[in-house]
Structure 1
Amino acid sequence: MRIPRFYDPQTLTEGNDIQLSDDVVQHVSRALRMKPGDYITLFNGDGFEYKTLLTQVEKRTVSARIETLLTVRTESPLTVNIGQCISRGERMDYAVQKSTEMGVKKISPLLSERCEVKLPKERQAKRISHWHQIAVSACEQSGRVIPPEIDMPSQLEQWLAQQDADLKLVLHHHSEQPLQEMSPPHSVALLIGPEGGLTEDEVELAVSYGFKPLTLGPRVMRTETAPIAALTLLNYLWGDVS
């Protein structure tokens, strides 16, 4: 039987006894109804997994002993930062979830001219927390040990000006050079437009900051589909997808 995996942000040290965090307790005690003597796998974002023995299970508290530190190879060697223009509701949730499964290192929610989502500053922290939890759940499911960083929302040009990746790409219907002909990068910044797409002025702005137009074929993809297709291709060429 597969050992359940959980993200627990506290410090994890081989041989230590710990109290599991409230979120993990809810799954272990209430949802899965696990018992003392059962094993779980924990990760906290430090790049390792920890085989952990449950020693005491109660409704609101669970004690455990970290038995073994495990080295895993589930993080992509290619660092990809996606600038994802914010889409409505479940579409953005889907983009965050699937991008995490595909190995993205950072997701930067962006506001652009055709972005239909208005996100007041007082709601931004709550929305970032929501997306972070989606990413954590995707890591638990996919075997990743380092959840992607999710930035606070920013304006498109602000994000463009901050990027210093080896290769900078903007999804667009016209591509000047096939990816296969580009020099293999260690890091990629990838700009993906909103549901209505980027304007021509925004594409030109991205190009002025060193971004190269990239097309993923003759079909128009939804904003939540594009990062999955792009990450698959990038990791096939230069990452760990074979």
Structure 2
Amino acid sequence: MRPRFHCTTTLAAHRTLALPAGAARHVQVLRMQPGDELSLFDGSGGEYDATIERMGRSEVTVQVGAHAAIEREAPRAVHLAVGMPANERMDWLVEKATELGVASIQPLMTAHGVLRLAGERADKKRAHWQAIAVSACEQCGRNRVPLVHPVRAFAAWIDSPPIDDAERFVLSLAEGAHQLREIRDGAPAANLRGACVLSGPEGGLSAVEEREAIVRGFAPLTLGPRVLRAETAALAALALLASA
């Protein structure tokens, strides 16, 4: 696969374009040269062939070629709402969720969560995670970048989860939780409706949070008898639902 770069500017076929700073820097790091071919995408769908025309000290100019209406999205749009795991695990979750086809990610502060973010620190973290999603799209071939929403407190988010017309699931270790096939048995076909999965941090959701989610239509979902790490559980549910 030829090198792929995300452009923050809107692309159009058959025009000369100075690459945005981030993409230009990446081209230079790879030591590409005039005449080298690459692929560009701006997140609106599909991708463009392009050829490097000129390399400056900080500027890279390309000739944009034809648009190819190529999509590599999952069959079902799955949105993750996750109690943020600490340290580097949220970075890893965002990267792998993007590779697996997540439609959007909502970072949440929950009762048992260690990571607490607000103000400028929250904004910087969100920008960092969005950049990770962009890089993962460049690597895996996706042409649509999943949105990482601003960090929200669970109590504020649960009153108005922004995913309309989607199946809702909350990952649960409670005795009454069901596996996906049990939830689907006897139900009408989902017709590839979207899905929203709520997942807790390392300590899981509190009993109150899980109860509030269930009251608002989130079906309690178990992934089996093993206790998974927070980031593993969210990714397993994503993989399960993206094509279910």
| TM-score bin, normalised by smaller chain | over 0.9
CA RMSD across the alignment: 1.4
Displacement of 1:178: 3.5
Report the Cα offset of residue 224 of structure 1: 1.1
| Residues 84 and 113 in structure 2, CA contact (< 8 A), matched pair in contact too | yes
2:46 is aligned with 1:48: yes
User: How far has the Cα of 1:227 moved from its partner?
Assistant: 1.9
Task: Please give the secondary structure, in 2, of the residue aligned with 1:35.
Answer: coil
Provide the rounded CA distance (Å) in 2 between the counterparts of 1:62 and 1:206.
49
The alignment's TM-score, normalised by the length of structure 2, stands at: 0.92
Cα deviation for residue 176 of structure 1 reads: 4.3
1:153 aligns with 2:151: yes
Q: How many residues align?
A: 235
Which residues of 2 match residues 6-85 of structure 1 at below 5 A?
Answer: 6-29=5-28, 31-85=29-83
Residue 177 of structure 1, CA deviation: 4.1
1:79: Cα distance to partner? 1.6
Q: C-alpha distance in 1, partners of 2:242/2:118?
A: 35
Q: Equivalent residue of 1:127, what SS?
A: helix
Matched, 1:170 2:170: yes
Structure 2 residue 211 is the aligned partner of structure 1 residue 210 = no
CA distance in 1, matches of 2:157, 2:196: 10
The answer to whether the Cα contact below 8 Å between 1:176 and 1:213 also exists between their aligned partners in 2 is: yes
Instruction: After TM superposition, give the deviation of residue 77 of structure 1 in Å.
Output: 3.1
Secondary structure at the counterpart of residue 100 of structure 1 = helix
Segment drifting more, 186-195 vs 153-162: 153-162
Q: Is the 8 A contact 2:77 2:242 kept in 1?
A: no
Q: Secondary structure at the match of 2:114?
A: coil
Give the Cα separation in 2 of the matches to 1:8 and 1:179: 38
Distance across 2 between alignment mates of 1:83 and 1:177 = 19
Paired with 2:111 and 2:30, the residues of 1 have a C-alpha distance of: 45
The match for 1:109 is 107
Residues 81 and 165 of structure 1: CA distance in aligned 2, closer, same or farther (over 3 Å) = farther
The structural deviation recorded for 1:166 is 2.6
- Seq. identity, %: 37
Query: Whole-Å Cα distance in 2 between the matches of residues 83 and 70 of structure 1?
Result: 32
Q: Which residue of 2 aligns with 1:96?
A: 94
Letter of the structure 2 residue corresponding to residue 125 of structure 1 = D
What is the one-letter code of the residue matched to 2:200?
G
Shift of 1:161: 2.3
Give deviations 1:78-103, integer Å, cap 9, x for gaps.
Answer: 12111111121210001111111111
AA in 2 matched with 1:208: V
1:228 equivalent in structure 2:
235
- In structure 2, distance between residues paired with 1:228 and 1:111: 18
